[in-house]
């Protein structure tokens, strides 16, 4: 407990004109009035008003306020009357005590006060003299510090909620940052102990893990400023548990870095030095756009002045820096109390000293949300750009709306090609997420390049779009080339000739093609048939085409042919040959296809990758080169078959059906091939126009969360 003479000395230290006698009388009056009353903590009740007075001496408040603090509970809780107080201490003190008493009575009814904002206004209205509010806040702070001694859970919880909703915001409004922080942390511990402990544990872990990163950053900042001959104190201040928690909640982020929890502060000699220091900080480290705030030229309504900025600091981590003078610093920590000390010194005794109080109250009365107002008037210089950082702290500038994939391609096309995931500020996000200013982007890469055609739907940078398109085109070309080579080799085999590139080279001018690769791609794409290719390679030979050879074989056996099915537009067949599409793979116009001659049936058409074809590997005479004779404008429908694995959950079938319908497909048949507790396996026949249409249907299905896999049926 603070001793009587200690209290007097503390006040005298910052206010030599203080009325020593009044302080002593108030001390004794309160001590006697509270008498043998005991706090829940077991301490004598008087320890409470004394501690409240002690808190207020820390804010350097005037003598009347300290006297009021000592007396603040006497009218409410003891036999003392307001008249008594007025006669002993004068009417100004009596008015202050009365104000605090009324606020305390208000507190008793606060359960009925539903809306915190109304209640805060009420408190303000009741504290026309801001000192009433200051005493009330100090009173609440001490009660919160001793909250754990209260046995009743509901009462503890109610007091903590009220502190969080009413008193902490009020402390913030009048600039009492330190008191606001402590109130919030104490209330947080009561309201959500689990969250508080987990933040604390994470903090301890990061502190151990991060080792000496904070000292290193401090060292770098100090060295940098000293190099520019700026006299500056640099310190790192750990943010409060509750403010870390709220940031995590508001922005739904995990805190990954120690620098997230430490704010750095540069304290300089003059206003001009603030801006000079800012210039050097921005010169040395890339700034995080959108984070810079100049509260010196435009102070906050509560009087707060400082420069705020965020940069990618010396350790390539985002750090927050506040730059201010010593005077601004004291004001920031003490709020009105600092004002009090400064203004009191210059105002003298003619009553002007209260003008700042009235000004402050005016601001508070009008402040529906002045902080927001300031935010909105801040210049947004780079409206159409976003600025993001690599994990190493390099700045990457992108157009607004850019995604992590754009970011990856902006760094390097290899990173783009292998991009499979992205973390924004340590959190995994979908690749189509729009980046925001200041995001730190980490690209998750695979070992093999696999850009997806679906990316083109959300990419915004030309560089990324072009790279994806180029990659996909060249990959398709490679596939066509491989396929073309297989067809070429087969053609040679069928003609009984050894495969020879020299022969192909000679055939190029006859086919009006320039390179062998071009020829193989044309073969693979079906723009050149195997028959024409064979003819070009061996123009002097007049062998019967494979197809007609096979057909004569068929005719010989079956003796009859059905008319060619007009609904199946296929090139490479003799007229009148019976043809049907294989059930196993359901080929569609646009697919690469081959025909298999089946005795008595005709020609069965398979996709080139149908697994059934393996069984015809040793009977090459039965294979026919076929291609589609399909006009893209043709609107006839064909049936494609899909094999799906879908999560066994309510509504998944409905989603499936509506997705297919949205893609303008039509379900023709649906068969469940197996089912387990978790998944269904399906075969679905879908009416589509061609292979590309079916690809669209597949892409849409893959976007549904309950769909685990979708593929063309492959035999």
- Applying CB under 5 A, the span of 28-36, 135-143, 490-498, 636-644 interacting with Mn ion comes to 135-143
Tell me how far, at minimum, the Cβ of 95 lies from Mn ion, in Å. 18
**β-strand pairing of 679-688 with 666-675:** antiparallel
Tell me how far, at minimum, the Cβ of 48 lies from Mn ion, in Å. 6
Q: Which residues have a Cβ under 8 Å from the Cβ of 272 and sit 6 or more positions away? A: none
Rounded CA-CA distance 535/541 in Å is: 8
Tell me how far, at minimum, the Cβ of 17 lies from Mn ion, in Å. 27
Q: What are the C-alpha distances in Å from 435 to residues 397, 404, 414, 417, 468? A: 11, 7, 20, 19, 19
* Residue nearest Mn ion, CB atom distance: 139
Q: Closer to Mn ion at the Cβ: 110 or 689?
A: 110
Q: Closer to Mn ion at the Cβ: 72 or 622?
A: 72
DSSP lists the bridge partners of residue 267 as: 233, 324
**Binding to Mn ion (CB under 5 A): which residues in 221-280?**
none
Angle at 80 (CA atoms; ends 78, 85), nearest 5 degrees: 140
Q: Does 107 bind Mn ion (CB under 5 A)?
A: no
9, 43, 64, 77: which is the annotated catalytic residue?
A: 77
Contact 174, 336 (CB under 8 A): yes
Tell me how far, at minimum, the Cβ of 138 lies from Mn ion, in Å. 9
- Applying CB under 5 A, the span of 71-79, 257-265, 353-361, 504-512 interacting with Mn ion comes to 71-79
Q: Closer to Mn ion at the Cβ: 139 or 494?
A: 139
Tell me how far, at minimum, the Cβ of 78 lies from Mn ion, in Å. 12
- Applying CB under 5 A, the span of 118-126, 136-144, 309-317, 527-535 interacting with Mn ion comes to 136-144
Chain-centre distance for alpha carbon 220: 30
Neighbours of 365 (CB within 10 A): 11
Rounded CA-CA distance 590/610 in Å is: 15
Tokens of 229: 């001959």
Contact 488, 499 (CB under 8 A): yes
Among 62, 73, 184, 481, binds Mn ion (CB under 5 A): 73
Rounded CA-CA distance 110/24 in Å is: 34
Tell me how far, at minimum, the Cβ of 269 lies from Mn ion, in Å. 41
20, 43, 76, 98: which is the annotated catalytic residue?
A: 76
Q: Closer to Mn ion at the Cβ: 139 or 481?
A: 139
In this structure, which long-range contacts are made by residues 86-94, counting pairs with CB atoms below 8 Å and at least 24 apart in sequence?
88/25, 88/29, 89/22, 89/25, 89/26, 92/64, 93/22, 93/64, 93/67, 93/68
The count of chain residues that interact with Mn ion, using the rule CB under 5 A, is 2
Q: Is 77 a catalytic residue?
A: yes
Tell me how far, at minimum, the Cβ of 400 lies from Mn ion, in Å. 54
Q: Closer to Mn ion at the Cβ: 141 or 402?
A: 141
Tokens of 523: 């073969």
Q: Closer to Mn ion at the Cβ: 103 or 230?
A: 103
Query: What Rg value do the Cα atoms of the chain yield, rounded?
Result: 41
**β-strand pairing of 307-312 with 318-325:** antiparallel
Q: Which run of H or E residues covers position 411? A: helix 404-411
Q: Closer to Mn ion at the Cβ: 40 or 584?
A: 40
Among 15, 62, 139, 591, binds Mn ion (CB under 5 A): 139
From 180, 150, 144, 160, select the one nearest 52 (Cα to Cα): 144
Please list the active-site residues: 76-77
Residue ranges in contact with Mn ion by CB under 5 A:
73, 139
């Amino acid at each position: 407990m603070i001793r009587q003479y200690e209290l007097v000395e503390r006040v005298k230290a910052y206010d030599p004109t203080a009325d020593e006698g009044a302080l002593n009388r108030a001390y004794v009056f309160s001590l006697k009035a509270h008498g043998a009353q005991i706090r829940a903590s077991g301490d004598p009740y008087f320890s409470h008003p004394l501690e409240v007075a002690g808190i207020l001496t820390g804010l350097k408040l005037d003598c009347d306020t300290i006297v009021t603090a000592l007396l603040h509970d006497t009218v409410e809780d003891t036999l003392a009357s307001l008249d008594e107080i007025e006669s002993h201490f004068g009417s100004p003190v009596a008015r202050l005590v009365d104000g605090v008493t009324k606020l305390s009575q208000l507190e008793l009814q606060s359960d009925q006060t539903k809306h915190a904002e109304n209640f805060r206004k009420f408190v303000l209205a009741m504290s026309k003299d801001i000192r009433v509010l200051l005493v009330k806040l100090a009173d609440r702070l001490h009660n919160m510090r001793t909250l754990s001694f209260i046995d009743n859970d509901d009462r503890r919880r109610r007091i903590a909620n009220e502190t969080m909703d009413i008193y902490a915001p009020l402390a913030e409004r009048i600039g009492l940052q330190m008191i606001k922080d402590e109130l919030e942390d104490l209330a947080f511990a009561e309201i959500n102990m689990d969250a508080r402990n987990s933040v604390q544990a994470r903090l301890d872990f990061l502190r151990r893990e991060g080792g000496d990163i904070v000292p290193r950053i401090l060292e770098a900042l100090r060295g940098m400023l000293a190099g520019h001959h700026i006299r500056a104190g640099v310190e790192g201040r750990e943010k409060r548990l509750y403010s870390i928690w709220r940031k995590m909640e508001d922005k739904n982020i995990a805190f990954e870095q120690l620098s997230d929890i430490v704010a750095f502060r540069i304290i300089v000699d003059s206003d001009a030095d603030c801006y000079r220091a800012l210039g050097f900080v921005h010169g040395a480290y890339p700034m995080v756009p959108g984070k810079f705030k100049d509260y010196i030229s435009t102070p906050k309504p509560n009087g707060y002045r400082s420069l705020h900025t965020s940069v990618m600091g010396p350790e390539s981590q985002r750090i927050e820096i506040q730059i201010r003078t010593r005077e601004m610093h004291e004001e920031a920590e003490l709020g009105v109390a600092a004002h009090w000390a400064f203004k009191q010194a210059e105002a003298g005794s003619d009553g002007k000293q209260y003008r700042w109080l009235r000004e402050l109250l005016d601001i508070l009365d009008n402040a529906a949300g002045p902080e927001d107002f300031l935010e909105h008037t801040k210049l947004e210089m780079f409206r159409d750009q976003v600025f993001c950082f690599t994990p190493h702290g390099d700045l990457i500038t992108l157009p607004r709306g850019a995604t992590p994939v754009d970011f990856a391609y902006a760094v390097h096309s290899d990173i783009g090609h292998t991009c499979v995931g992205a973390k924004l500020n340590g959190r995994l996000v979908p690749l189509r997420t729009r980046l925001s200013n200041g995001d730190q982007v980490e690209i998750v890469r695979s070992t093999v390049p696999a850009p997806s055609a679906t990316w083109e739907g959300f990419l915004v940078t030309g560089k990324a779009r072009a790279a994806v398109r180029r990659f996909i085109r060249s990959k398709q070309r490679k596939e066509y080339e491989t396929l073309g080579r297989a067809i070429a080799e087969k053609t040679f085999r069928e003609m009984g000739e050894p495969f020879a590139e020299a022969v192909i080279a000679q055939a190029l001018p006859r086919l009006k093609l320039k390179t062998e690769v071009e020829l193989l791609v044309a073969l693979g794409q079906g723009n050149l048939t195997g028959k024409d290719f064979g003819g070009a390679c061996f123009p002097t030979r007049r062998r019967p085409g494979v197809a007609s050879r096979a057909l004569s074989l068929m005719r010989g056996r079956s003796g009859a042919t059905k008319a060619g099915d007009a609904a199946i537009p296929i090139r490479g067949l003799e007229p009148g040959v019976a043809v049907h599409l294989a059930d196993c793979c359901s080929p569609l116009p646009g697919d690469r296809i081959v025909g298999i001659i089946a005795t008595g049936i005709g020609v069965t058409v398979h996709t080139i990758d149908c697994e059934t074809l393996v069984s015809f590997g040793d009977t090459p005479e039965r294979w026919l080169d076929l291609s589609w004779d399909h006009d893209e404008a043709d609107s006839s429908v064909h049936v494609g078959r899909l094999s799906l694995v879908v999560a066994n959950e309510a509504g998944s079938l409905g989603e499936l059906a509506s997705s297919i319908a949205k893609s303008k497909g039509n379900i023709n048949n649906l068969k469940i091939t197996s089912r387990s507790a978790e998944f269904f396996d399906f075969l679905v026949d879908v009416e589509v126009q061609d292979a590309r249409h079916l690809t669209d249907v597949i892409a849409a299905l893959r976007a549904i969360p309950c769909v685990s896999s979708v593929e063309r049926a492959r035999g």
